[in-house]
Amino acid sequence: MSTPQTYTVTIHVRPLKSEDPPPRTYTITVPSDRYILQHAESQGLELPFSCRNGACTTCAVRILSGHVYQPEAMGLSPALQAQGYALLCVSYARSDLEVETQDEDEVYELQFGRYFGKGRVQLGLPLDED
Ligand code: FES
């Protein structure tokens, strides 16, 4: 049995609430056949998560450099994936990586804000005012 490739993954954790700890950076070595979140936790890191199956975006990161493979990232549109966002709970490293944690509300806004934000959904509804 061959040994999986390993990659160096640097994770910048942004504080999201006033009670969160200050910004911190972790660097770990992750085998290419392990989910990054799962492996980081096995190394004692505390990272944001909720569903653990690629649906909720709590574990979303922006990729600053490198590549991931995330075929199960259902919670992230292909457009956002192409813009460099990833879900660590279902991401495999495919190179050395540097990533930054994201606010899940910001990611939601990026995905859906242009459809549901600022009342623009009214464009699809009949309005009586006219
Ligand atoms: S923890 Fe929900 S998408 Fe990763």
Q: Higher model confidence: residue 119 or residue 45?
A: 45
DSSP 56-80: S-TTEEEEEES-EE-TT-TTS-HHH
Please state which CATH class domain 6-112 belongs to: alpha beta
Instruction: Return the domain boundaries, the chain.
Output: 6-112
User: 112: which 2 tokens?
Assistant: 């859906």
Nearest to residue 63, comparing CAs of 46, 76, 72? 76
Residues with CB under 6 A from ligand 1: 49-52, 54-59, 75, 87, 89
Name residue 100's amino acid. Answer: E
List pLDDT tens digits, range 46-85: 999 999 999 999 999 999 999 999 999 999 999 999 999 9
- Centre of ligand 1 from the C-alpha of residue 130, in Å: 44
| Its pTM surpasses 0.95 | no
